[in-house]
Amino acid sequence: MEVIKLGPGFAAEIRGVGMAEVAADEAVYTAVRAVFEEHSVLVFRRQPITDELQLAYSKRFGPLETAKAASRGEGTQFSILTNVEPDGSLVKPGHKEELRARANQLWHTDSCFKIPPALASVLSARTIPTHGGETEFVSMRNTWQRLSPELRARLDGACAWHDYAHSRGKIAPHLASERERSVMPPVSWRMRWRNPVNGRDALYIASHTYAIDGLSREDSLRLIDELTALATQPEQIYQHRWQAGDVVMWDNRATMHRGRPWPEDQPRYMIRTTITATDADGLAGMWPQRSAA
Ligand code: OGA
Ligand code: MN
């Protein structure tokens, strides 16, 4: 196995082993898992991807999430991100899937609004546009290190609130349906996720984050905006330009990502599986600390 570094202090391509070997072989899985813990974003090129292979690979890393209420793939372990209708036509501007794609273009980590949240996401390119539609990543470990010591100490004990409806509301007021709101109420987590394998800390925020305990709503939103701006400075970004057969896996504990726009007259079809975090992934340390009443 060869590990080729890609981004500014994180992200790596794996060569020499493919996803099928990870799925089939415990020793290969262990080696790739170590690269995942170290580099946060893994790129596999030219994979013979099928739904079965994506499932078998993803399940190695832990239990899988069921796709969100009211999203394509609801009730299955596949989240489908596309502008292609089931009949093969492309969605019109203003269509729910187009609005969702725009919400995915806000910097975020997946499923911080869920209990439990996500360890990792595995995204496979099934149909890609000729240009545009890249996915960009930043390291929230690097971000943590770039905070001032004072701010780091403050955030170390802080808790923040996450709500799917908050990020959707930035795109269109009713993009999160009543049903989505009722099955995904706001949740809170610690703002610092410590990786139990290497002890490295990451700032845990996203487009979904709307409040920080102890701060007014206005001050919370201002701080979240400042932290997001710090995290996503251009030189901190790894941009993945998709090629046919690419699969990218990222650590939702330690990165943020966003999609980029693509020409609306071109199809893009991506399938994501999402791995749920467990206590062994450091989730045990993420529950909000509430002072006794
Ligand atoms: C995702 C996501 C962005 C993209 O799959 O979670 O945010 O580029 N994708 O499709
Ligand atoms: Mn996402």
Per-residue pLDDT tens digits for 50-60:
999 999 999 99
Dist CA 256 CA 153 (whole Å): 21
pLDDT at 290: 61
272 Cβ below 6 A of ligand 1: yes
Hey, what amino acid is at 39?
A: H
pLDDT for 83 beyond 90: yes
Dist CA 258 CA 134 (whole Å): 9
pLDDT for 293 beyond 60: no
Q: Name the residue with the closest Cα to ligand 1, atom 6.
A: 110
Which atom of ligand 1 is closest in space to residue 259's alpha carbon?
8
246 Cβ below 6 A of ligand 1: no
CA 153–ligand 1 middle distance (angstroms): 31
pLDDT for 289 beyond 90: no
Tell me the CATH number at 231: 3.60.130.10
For residue 92, the number of C-alpha atoms closer than 13 Å in the C-beta half-sphere is: 1
Residue with tokens 């170390």: 156
pLDDT at 251: 99
pLDDT digits (tens, 9 = 90+) for 219-271: 999 999 999 999 999 999 999 999 999 999 999 999 999 999 999 999 999 99
pLDDT digits (tens, 9 = 90+) for 109-121: 999 999 999 999 9
Domain span holding position 96: 2-290
124 Cβ below 6 A of ligand 1: no
273 Cβ below 6 A of ligand 1: no
Give the count of domains, the chain. 1
Region 181-192: what's the mean pLDDT?
97
Ligand nearest to the CA of 206: 2
pLDDT for 70 beyond 90: no
270 Cβ below 6 A of ligand 1: yes
Whether residue 267 contacts residue 84, with contact meaning beta carbons closer than 8 Å, is answered with yes
Which atom of ligand 1 is closest in space to residue 268's alpha carbon?
10
User: How would you class 272 by CB atoms within 10 Å of its CB: exposed for 0-12, middle for 13-18, buried for 19 or more?
Assistant: buried
CA 258–ligand 2 middle distance (angstroms): 7
At 273, is the secondary structure helix, strand, or coil? strand
Whether residue 93 contacts residue 264, with contact meaning beta carbons closer than 8 Å, is answered with yes
Dist CA 152 CA 168 (whole Å): 29
The count of residues in the chain is 293
For residue 242, the number of C-alpha atoms closer than 13 Å in the C-beta half-sphere is: 27
* Confidence band for 71, pLDDT divided at 50, 70 and 90: confident
Dist CA 198 CA 2 (whole Å): 21
**For residue 146, what are the CA distances in angstroms to 15, 149, 153, 192?**
31, 9, 12, 14
pLDDT at 61: 98
Dist CA 43 CA 110 (whole Å): 18
Region 166-177: what's the mean pLDDT?
96
Q: What percent of the chain has pLDDT over 90?
A: 96
pLDDT digits (tens, 9 = 90+) for 134-147: 999 999 999 999 99
Mean per-residue pLDDT over the chain, rounded:
96
118-127 and 192-194 strand pairing? unpaired
pLDDT digits (tens, 9 = 90+) for 195-231: 999 999 999 999 999 999 999 999 999 999 999 999 9
* Phi, then psi, of 231 in degrees rounded to 5: -65, -35
